[in-house]
Structure 1
Amino acid sequence: MASLRSMFTKSSRIITAIKQQTNVIYIRRTLLGPRLPLCRRVDGRFLEFLRQSSSTTVNAGKGEDSFLKWFLLLIPATTFGLGTWQVRRRQWKLQLIDDMTRLTTKEPISLPLDPLELKNLEYRRVKVRGRYDHSKELYILPRSPVDPEKEAREAGRLSSSTESGANVITPFYCTDLGITILVNRGYVPKQKIRPETRMKGQVEGEVDVVGVVRLTEVRKPFVPNNDVQKNRWHYRDLEAMSQVTGTETIFIDADFGSTVPGGPVGGQTRITLRNEHMQYIVTWWVKNCTEKSRSYSCFRL
């Protein structure tokens, strides 16, 4: 009898606990009823709400899939447009390089003294007559010899030449103008940088020089600062160079025809325009093909 009573007591407790839990659930759902009209009672209507919610979730999922597919289709269209834009940019850059190259081959004009006029004449050929002051040479280094055709084809890229040397910058007194300017006489290899190793090329007396007008440079990233004390120049700073040599802030690159035996090799004008658009074209169009494949795969799913 004791065991039966114990079992009956346990059963009563379980039934009471279930009723209490049921009341709690019912009360909670009843309180949520005003907020969820389809869930006022625990009956069929609640199940209908669940069905409606499930269908809404499915429809929302389909909408998200559709949006994702169209978004993936937009990516290859964008990359194709960017690649086409780079084609036009490359054509424009090549034309600009051709125009600048033609300026370096035009008939030379007399060197103007108006600073405003000079600013509009970069890469223009000019002619001067005078004499060099070899005692105040400056050296821009390291430099490799310029191949004009290669410079036009690969402008702005790092040179693949393993030969290294310097450009010799020499003050030049223009006897016809009464001013002293800076002339980049040209390239010398590393073992010929010191003047005593190339005395034959240290021309004396008056000479005619044809050169290309160059403007001052801004130091590029990763290019070292100029070391004035050691006479090691890494970029063309006309203000600093003119202060050291006592010249005007006028700079020309002597052309190849101004080269003298045993002296620096002229014609070291670099047309420094970055021309990497072909790489961008390939990059964007390869991405375009990749994204197209992904988009088509997505649409097939």
Structure 2
Amino acid sequence: MKRRLLMTLTLLLAAGFAALGIWQIERRAWKHELIAAVSARIHRAPVAAPGPAEWPGLSAGDDAYRRIVATGRFRHDRETLVQAVTERGAGYWLLTPLDTPTFTLIVNRGFVPRDKREAAARAAGNPAGTLTVKGLLRMSEPGGAFLRANDAARDRWYSRDVAGIAKARGLDRVAPYFLDADAAPNAGGYPAGGLTVVRFRDPHLVYALTWFALGGISLYFSWLLWRSARLRPNMDS
């Protein structure tokens, strides 16, 4: 009776592991489709930054990493520094509101090293007047980074939380996404744009093989139990 229960358990485990393996294969196919779609968006010509009428229909799956362009005036007095680690080292992303005729768009203008944290140290890189900014549409990153929550009261930011930053800076008509600026140079050298890293984790094949291996092990133990049950009568005789 005990052996039969163990056999049933191992068979159920094998079925469960097989289902998880198949699910990971399906996830891998979905991830590859997403990577292909994002790659295609990145290389298309830029389109106008989505306005208020388009905001309800935006989604990470369909719109993230689209190339967009917007024209307006930067509000340098409302900028926000978000902690970052890039290929240039540790420092900050510089997020600045861009006032367009119909809405405000948060622009990640690029990387600022720690010694350029103060606005006075990079004043030459803060353009005045109306200008056009190009880059990638990125979805908001609410809450904070891993194990580090944004603290608006202390002006400590670890993720590019559009809604949180807009509230902290007293902004209205703010787009629910931000623009990652391209590598267009500026007079002061900083912020340095064009550092967007487009990378998607794709461990699904490894996960699938792991689940299938566990399923195979479960089947093997089930076979051992079945074999033991078949041999037992002969041994008893």
Whether these two folds match at TM > 0.5 is: yes
Please tell me the residue identity of whatever aligns with 1:249.
Answer: V
Distance verdict in 2 for CA 1:242–1:196, change over 3 Å: same
1:249 aligns with 2:191: no
Please tell me the residue identity of whatever aligns with 1:129.
Answer: T
RMSD: 3.1
Distance verdict in 2 for CA 1:242–1:71, change over 3 Å: closer
Please tell me the residue identity of whatever aligns with 1:291.
Answer: S
SS of the equivalent of 2:157 reads coil
Distance verdict in 2 for CA 1:117–1:248, change over 3 Å: closer
User: What is the distance in 2 between the residues matched to 1:201 and 1:127?
Assistant: 20
Please tell me the residue identity of whatever aligns with 2:93.
Answer: N
Distance verdict in 2 for CA 1:286–1:70, change over 3 Å: same
TM-aligned CA deviation for residue 129 of structure 1: 1.9
SS of the equivalent of 1:196 reads helix
Distance verdict in 2 for CA 1:181–1:81, change over 3 Å: closer
SS of the equivalent of 1:263 reads coil
**Which gives a bigger RCO, structure 1 or 2 (Cα 8 Å, sep 6+)?**
2
CA shift digits 1:160-179 (9 cap, x unpaired): x79322110012233xx254
Distance verdict in 2 for CA 1:113–1:103, change over 3 Å: same
Q: % of aligned pairs identical?
A: 27
TM superposition score normalised by structure 1 = 0.61
CA contact (8 A) 2:162 2:178 kept: no
Q: Which structure is higher in strand share?
A: 2
- The number of aligned residues is 221
1:264-275 equivalences under 5 Å are 264-269=191-196, 275=202
1:144 aligns with 2:79: no
User: What is the distance in 2 between the residues matched to 1:89 and 1:178?
Assistant: 39
User: What is the distance in 2 between the residues matched to 1:288 and 1:116?
Assistant: 47
Q: Which residue of 2 aligns with 1:165?
A: 91
TM-aligned CA deviation for residue 273 of structure 1: 6.3
1:189 aligns with 2:131: no
Please tell me the residue identity of whatever aligns with 2:85.
Answer: S
CA contact (8 A) 1:168 1:184 kept: yes
CA shift digits 1:252-276 (9 cap, x unpaired): 3233233435122223546686644
Q: Which residue of 2 aligns with 1:58?
A: none
CA contact (8 A) 2:7 2:225 kept: yes
Could you tell which deviates more after superposition, 242-251 or 216-225? Answer: 216-225
Distance verdict in 2 for CA 1:274–1:300, change over 3 Å: same
- Unmatched segments (≥5 aa) in structure 1: 1-60, 146-160
Please tell me the residue identity of whatever aligns with 1:86.
Answer: Q
TM-aligned CA deviation for residue 287 of structure 1: 1.4
- Unmatched segments (≥5 aa) in structure 2: 229-237
CA contact (8 A) 2:145 2:159 kept: no
Q: Which structure is higher in helix share?
A: 1
TM-aligned CA deviation for residue 144 of structure 1: 2.0
1:71-150 equivalences under 5 Å are 71-117=9-55, 119-120=57-58, 121-141=63-83, 143-145=84-86
CA shift digits 1:78-101 (9 cap, x unpaired): 313321221121121221133134
Distance verdict in 2 for CA 1:122–1:78, change over 3 Å: closer
Q: Which residue of 1 aligns with 2:214?
A: 287
TM-aligned CA deviation for residue 298 of structure 1: 2.0
TM superposition score normalised by structure 2 = 0.75
SS of the equivalent of 1:233 reads coil
Q: Which residue of 2 aligns with 1:53?
A: none
1:29-44 equivalences under 5 Å are none
Distance verdict in 2 for CA 1:162–1:109, change over 3 Å: closer
Please tell me the residue identity of whatever aligns with 2:182.
Answer: F
Larger radius of gyration: 1
